[in-house]
Amino acid sequence: MSSLKPFYIQSLIFSFFTLIFLFLWNQYASLRFQTNLSWIVWLFFIISSTLIHLFLVKSSVKEPKKFIVNFMLVTGIKLFGYLTLILVYALIKREAALGFTIFFLVMYLLYSGFEVFTLLRHFKK
């Protein structure tokens, strides 16, 4: 667990900056691009990126050669699952779909970049 301490610190710092982004988004974005679920989306990405990071690090400890396969599998499942989530929400609440979709995809890009960055730093050691 001690090797995961830097990840937790980086995740906390990154989540703080995305929290600032969330406040700015809710304050300055047009009402058309806002969503009532921005806090839930933010928490969702914190939890999912942490769980995915833990899974990938643990899977690489057992068999390092399977890391690439596991990474591609998780990335594919994550992308498909997230797009399904966006589609279901858009079908249920058409009037709020634009704001939710844009905010969700921005968070997806930010946290996917963070995920790759932390995994690269973890495996550089």
CB neighbourhood size of 22 (10 A): 17
Over the stretch 62-101, which tens digit does the pLDDT of each residue have?
787 888 899 999 999 999 999 999 999 999 999 889 999 9
Average pLDDT estimate for 7-28: 92
Tell me, rounded to whole angstroms, the distance of Cα 89 from its chain centroid: 18
Under DSSP, the state recorded for 75 is H
The answer to whether 78 and 52 are in contact (CB under 8 A) is yes
Backbone angles phi, psi at 20, to 5 degrees: -60, -45
What does the pLDDT read at residue 21?
Answer: 92
Angle between helix 5-28 and 38-62 (nearest 10): 160
Q: What's residue 51's pLDDT?
A: 94
Q: How far apart are CA 22 and CA 28, in angstroms?
A: 10
User: Does pLDDT of 125 surpass 70?
Assistant: no
Q: What's the average model confidence in pLDDT over 26-55?
A: 91
HEC secondary structure over 17-41: HHHHHHHHHHHHCCHHHCCCCHHHH
Give the Cα separation of 123 and 125 in Å (integer). 5
pLDDT at residue number 49:
94
Q: Is the pLDDT of residue 53 over 70?
A: yes
| Percentage of the chain modeled with pLDDT above 90 | 61
